Amino acid sequence: MGHPSISGLTVYPVKSARGIPLSLAVIEKRGLSLDRRWMLVDENRLFLSQRRIPRLALISLRIQSESLVAHIPGREGISLPKNPSGELIRVRIWDDEVDAIDLGSDTAGWFAAYLGVQCRLVYMPEQTVRPLKRRVTGGNDQTSFADAYPLLLISEASLDWLNGRLKDPVPMDRFRPNIVVRGCEPFEEDRWRIVRVGHVTLHVVKPCARCVVTTVDQETGLTAEEPLATLSKVRRFGNDVLFGQNCVPHEGGTVHVGDPVEVLEYGRPPS
CATH number at residue 9: 2.40.33.20
pLDDT in tens, 171-225: 999 999 999 999 999 999 999 999 999 999 999 999 999 999 999 999 999 999 9
Q: What is the DSSP letter of 14?
A: B
Residue 73 pLDDT greater than 90, yes or no: no
Residue 1 pLDDT greater than 60, yes or no: no
pLDDT in tens, 27-39: 999 999 999 999 9
pLDDT at 271: 79
Three-class secondary structure assignment of 160-204: HHHHCCCCCCCCHHHCCCCEEEECCCCCHHHHEEEEEECCEEEEE
Residue 90 pLDDT greater than 90, yes or no: yes
The count of structural domains within the chain is 1
Confirm whether 137 is domain-assigned: yes
How many Å apart are CA 201 and CA 199, to the nearest integer?
7
Model confidence, pTM: 0.97
pLDDT in tens, 130-173: 999 888 988 889 999 999 999 999 999 999 999 999 999 999 99
Confirm whether 43 is domain-assigned: yes
Confirm whether 166 is domain-assigned: yes
Confirm whether 193 is domain-assigned: yes
Confirm whether 191 is domain-assigned: yes
pLDDT in tens, 220-267: 999 999 999 999 999 999 999 999 999 999 999 999 999 999 999 999
Average pLDDT over residues 43-53: 98
Confirm whether 271 is domain-assigned: no
Backbone angles phi, psi at 184, to 5 degrees: -135, 175
pLDDT band with cut points at 50, 70 and 90 for residue 108:
very high
Query: What is the enclosing helix (H) or strand (E) of 114?
Result: helix 105-115
Sign of CA dihedral 98, 49, 64, 114: negative
Q: 187 is in which domain, residue-wise?
A: 5-266
